[in-house]
Amino acid sequence: MGCLAWALYKTRHQVRTQTAIPGPSGVPVLGLVLAFTRSLTHRGLANLAQTLNAKTLMAFSLGFSRFIISSEPETAKELLNSSAFVDRSIKESAYELLCHRAMGFAPFGEYWRNLRRISSIHLFSPKRIASFGDFRHGIGLKMVEEIRVLVKIKGEVEEPQSFKPQRFMREDVAILGSDLRLAPFGSGRRVCPGKAMGLATVELWLAQLLQSFQWVPGEAAVDLSERVKLSMEMKKPWVCKAVPRVFPV
């Protein structure tokens, strides 16, 4: 179990547990820091959890910082909905850029609750989202270059690393946070407050693309290799051919 940081924590707080959370011991003092020098850290952690039979919970350390992760959707859902884990570790650089007022980094408390309330009532209410949708529909489709498709479902599903969009025809997977097999907006108390607007916007764009163009798959197969930039994206985007639809006058 997680090396130096955990040892110090137990010494200071006199923590005694009958069953230790499994996890890699890592390098003395540094812990598992070397794993975070690779480009796809999440893959390495997932493989470690699988190897150590620690998908439910896995503990490790990075220097003096302690970490516990879960690779199991149901356990992760419990953690994300628990008030004990509602605060986020703050990156001071991001906090400074957002003038120490960002809802995403605000600690759990009255200020954060007020921001969530304002967002849900005034910014992302159903009426406001509908008005945004009408406005975007009026603008229309201005530019289409290519479609990037990436479908990843983590959890107890068949071949999660394979591109099989037909899986969504067999099962209706909720994407607004209640099912962590697919949660683009996050989940729990820190779920994205603009999820309804984001979904409405994507559905509108998709409807316009399908209405205006016939989509022909590219010659190459879908490559689900990843790379990490500002967010996770496809290393080799899947390129399709867009053929304008001709409507009778």
Do 226 and 118 fall into the same domain?
yes
Of 71, 92, 125, the residue that ends a domain is 71
pLDDT at 139: 47
Do 115 and 44 fall into the same domain?
no
pLDDT at 203: 87
DSSP H/E element including 50 = helix 41-51
pLDDT at 14: 55
Task: Give residue-wise pLDDT tens across range 142-193.
Answer: 433 463 533 344 445 677 778 887 877 777 778 888 887 778 888 888 888 8
Q: Tell me the CB-side half-sphere exposure of residue 106, using CA atoms within 13 A.
A: 16
**4 pLDDT higher than 60:** no
Q: Is residue 89 part of a domain?
A: no
pLDDT at 57: 92
Of 41, 71, 101, the residue that ends a domain is 71
Phi, psi (rounded to 5 degrees) for 31: 70, -130
Q: Is residue 174 part of a domain?
A: yes
Do 66 and 116 fall into the same domain?
no
**60 pLDDT higher than 70:** yes
Higher pLDDT, 200 or 10: 200
pLDDT at 153: 41
CA distances from 182 to 132, 155, 229, 235 (A): 26, 9, 20, 20
Q: Is 192 annotated as a binding residue?
A: yes
Question: What's the rounded Cα separation, in Å, for the pair 166 and 186?
Answer: 23
Task: Give residue-wise pLDDT tens across range 68-121.
Answer: 888 888 888 888 888 888 776 666 666 666 666 677 777 788 888 888 888 888
Q: Is residue 92 part of a domain?
A: no
Do 45 and 120 fall into the same domain?
no
Q: Within a 10 A sphere around the Cβ of 26, how many other Cβ atoms?
A: 20
Do 235 and 137 fall into the same domain?
yes
Task: Give residue-wise pLDDT tens across range 216-244.
Answer: 888 888 888 888 877 788 888 888 889 99
Q: Is residue 39 part of a domain?
A: yes
CB-count exposure of residue 187 (10 Å: 0-12, 13-18, 19+)? buried
Do 239 and 168 fall into the same domain?
yes
* Residue 30 domain boundaries: 3-71
Q: Could you give the number of structural domains in the chain?
A: 2
Q: Is residue 232 part of a domain?
A: yes
pLDDT at 58: 92
Q: Is residue 61 part of a domain?
A: yes
pLDDT at 15: 53
Pairing verdict, β 213-216 and 241-244:
antiparallel
Full-model pTM: 0.66
Q: Is residue 48 part of a domain?
A: yes
Higher pLDDT, 29 or 78: 78
Q: Is residue 121 part of a domain?
A: yes
Average of per-residue pLDDT across 209-214: 90
Give the single-character DSSP code of 121: I
Q: Tell me the CB-side half-sphere exposure of residue 241, using CA atoms within 13 A.
A: 6
3-state secondary structure of 213: strand
pLDDT at 92: 63
